[in-house]
Amino acid sequence: MNIKEILPLIATILAFSPLTITFFRKTNPCFNYEMLAIKPYLWLIFIGAFYELIFTSFLRIPSAYWFTAYTFLEFLALWYFFRELLGLRYMYFFKGTMFIVIVGFLIILYYWEYNIHTTLEAYLLVPILLFVFISSFIWFKDLFNKEIISLWIIPSFYFISGLIIYFSGGFFISLLYDQLKIITGLSETNWLVFVSGLIIMYIMITIGVWKGTEKKP
Amino acid sequence: MKGTGEEVVSLFYIGTAIMLFLAFGLLFIVVTYQRHFFRMKRKEAENMLKVSLESEKNERARIAADLHDGVSGDLSAIKNYLSVLAKKESENKEIFDEIREGVDAALQNTRAVSHNLMPPLLETEGLVPALKGYLESIGAKAQIYFEVTANGAVALPASVAYQLFRVLQELTTNMVKYGNVSKCDINIALNKEALTIDITDDGTPFNFRENLAKPNASGLKNINSRLHAVGGVIVQEEEKQVGNHFTITLKNVNNA
């Protein structure tokens, strides 16, 4: 096995860990709403990893449709996470983002073709990336106005840090994947950058889930 | 074609590097700023705690002085008048004697409260004599043998001595109330700038940290706050089958 196979396998295995932790540990009451907010995303990455492992790795079924659907589902899960986290004060921002992404998703579906699906998903990634960055910024801003506690004990800090790193690292590879594949044939090597970001995010989310839960009595 | 390929690869690497730089930069700024803010708030809380403890000390001293000079003085005067009256009114001697005993008891209680609020020896003689006097008094009542030893004269700033006295008072009160203690050794050692106080007893073992986390542990929290205010820490040595051993350490005593 070479690095191109090992890293995706590590990422897939790590994707199972956050949700699995919640089965064996109970939610810390102090972080109840954060843990409830991240639950859909945890389920999504769990199901995503399961799909990739069974359908993509073993059955070798093309996952282009799944990737497109996953991008949209990922947005929905993150939209829910940030909306729960930031509350109703930013409702216009959330409604606006939802509208833009739904319109973008419908356009992508209209123009969808197997050969260009990665580029189309990358276009959808632009508003999602902006949404994650702006929401994270608002969360940090709000946090400093509240009672000061150490960032290292807040599960959401790990979730948000992981998301920022993942989206930042994966943006250009998603955007240029098709060009890299056609022109240089190096897309798989460069794809490892995306997978590395994914691994970092899963580790951060796992730490966050661990911090947000406690040993069952 | 080769040139275009290189451009795409360069764009990918430069773009990803910039994005990651922004991401890590943002996280770095947030963590640094929050740490700075956290320290600032903690410093503010520490200052408030110091001010509040200092005010408490001053208020205790004022009430103790008022009790000693005011109420005690008045009771002494009443006692003297009663003695004079008792001599003149020989018929009601028994009643006068009873009143005098009552006034005596009130006088003693007032003195005890006054001393408890602010031990007079603490200001004049320092921590060790004040502690010895206090423990002698409670030891006799609770049947506990307290032994206080010190390496020479332990000269401490008044505010530090006062907080340490309160900490030791809290610890020994706990021993009397819940500790089932018969003997307790307190060793105070001042070396250069650091002060170490070892407290050893033979009572029921208890875990300081675990009890501190309980919501009703106001006494233990008080100990922690007072020590924190003077830059001290309390450490429980290894838990034993019988007895407890605590070490209080204060570095930079003179700057506390």
Chain B CB contacts of A164 below 8 Å: 23, 26-27
- Indicate which of B2, B27, B32 best probes the interface with A, i.e. most A CBs within 10 Å of its own CB: B27
Q: Which residues of B touch A161 (CB under 8 A)?
A: 27
**Minimal CA–CA distance to A10: which of A146, A181, A195?**
A195
What was the pLDDT predicted at A200?
94
Please give the pLDDT value at position A97.
94
Give the residue among A110, A121, A109, A106 at the shortest CA–CA distance from A177: A121
- Asked if pLDDT for residue A148 goes beyond 70, the answer is no
Distance from CA of A168 to the nearest CA of B (A): 5
Q: Tell me what pLDDT residue A186 has.
A: 62
Instruction: Judge: A144–B37 Cβ closer than 8 Å, yes or no.
Output: yes
Say yes or no for a CB contact (<8 Å) between A164 and B16: no
Test mutation, B10, B26, B30, chain A, max A CBs within 10 A: B30
| Whether residue B119 has pLDDT greater than 60 | yes
In this prediction, residues B190-195 reach a mean pLDDT of 80
A128 and B CB contact within 8 Å: no
Residue in A151, A172, A190 nearest the CB of B19: A172
The pLDDT value given to residue B2: 47
**ipTM for this model:** 0.80
Instruction: Between A184 and B173, name the one with better pLDDT.
Output: B173
Residue B9 forms contact with A (CB below 8 Å): yes
Nearest to A119 by CA among A62, A181, A48, A197: A181
Give the pLDDT mean for B104-108: 87
Residue B255 has a pLDDT of 62
Highest mean pLDDT pick, A43-47, A115-119, B177-181: A43-47
CB contact under 8 A, A186 and B38: no
Question: In b/e form, how buried is each residue of A49-78, taking b as 16+ CB within 10 angstroms?
Answer: bebbbeebeeeeeebeebbbebbbbbbbbb
**Tens digits of residue pLDDT in B152-161:** 777 788 888 8
Joined together, the tokens standing for residue B131 give: 């502690």
Asked if B24 and A172 come within 8 Å (Cβ–Cβ), the reply is no
Question: Would you kindly state where each structural domain of chain B is located, as residue ranges?
Answer: 1-117, 120-255
- How many Å apart are CA A98 and CA A92, to the nearest integer? 10
* Closest-CA residue of chain A to B33: A144
Q: What percent of chain B has pLDDT over 70?
A: 97
Q: Please tell me which residue of chain B has the smallest CA distance to A187.
A: B9
Return the pLDDT at B1: 41
Which residue in B has a C-alpha nearest to residue A183's C-alpha? B5
Q: Parallel, antiparallel, or unpaired: how do β-strands B145-150 and B183-191 relate?
A: parallel
Helix axis angle for A155-179 and A32-51, nearest 10°, is 30
| Contact between residue A132 and residue A167 where contact means Cβ atoms under 8 Å apart | yes
B238 — pLDDT class (breaks 50, 70, 90): confident
The verdict on a CB contact (< 8 Å) between B41 and A148 is yes
User: Closest to B8 (Cβ–Cβ): which among A144, A164, A180?
Assistant: A180
Residue A147 — pLDDT band, cuts 50, 70, 90?
A: low
Instruction: Return the residue in A140, A145, A146 with the most chain B beta carbons within 10 A, the one to mutate for interface testing.
Output: A140
In 3-state terms, what secondary structure has residue B232? Answer: strand
The verdict on B70 touching A (C-beta cutoff 8 Å) is no
For B153, other C-beta atoms within 10 Å of its C-beta total 10
pLDDT at A203: 95
Residues B147 and B135: beta-carbon distance below 8 Å: no
> Do the beta carbons of residue B181 and residue B175 sit within 8 Å?
yes
Q: A103 and chain B: CB distance < 8 Å anywhere?
A: no
Q: Is the Cβ pair A164, B27 closer than 8 Å? A: yes
pLDDT tens, position by position, A49-97: 998 888 877 777 777 788 888 989 999 999 999 999 998 889 999 999 9
How do strand B183-191 and strand B194-201 relate by DSSP bridges? antiparallel
Average pLDDT rounded to a whole number, residues A120-136: 89
Compute the C-alpha angle A17/A19/A21, nearest 5°. Answer: 65
State the count of interchain CB pairs (< 8 A) between A and B: 63
Residue given tokens 């996470």 in the structure block: A81
A chain contacts of residue B1, beta-carbon cutoff 8 Å: 183
Give the CATH fold of the B120-255 domain. Answer: Heat Shock Protein 90 (3.30.565)
Residue A185 pLDDT class (50, 70, 90 cuts): low
Cβ contact A190–B30 (<8 Å): no
Q: What is the mean pLDDT of residues B216-244?
A: 84
**Nearest by Cα to B224 from B238, B237, B208, B239:** B208
Helix (H, G, I), strand (E, B) or coil at B190: strand
Q: Give the angle A135-A73-A123 at the CA atoms, nearest 5°.
A: 70
Give per-residue pLDDT as tens, B47-104: 888 888 888 888 888 888 888 888 888 888 888 888 888 777 777 777 888 888 888 8
Flag if A172 and B15 touch (Cβ within 8 Å). yes
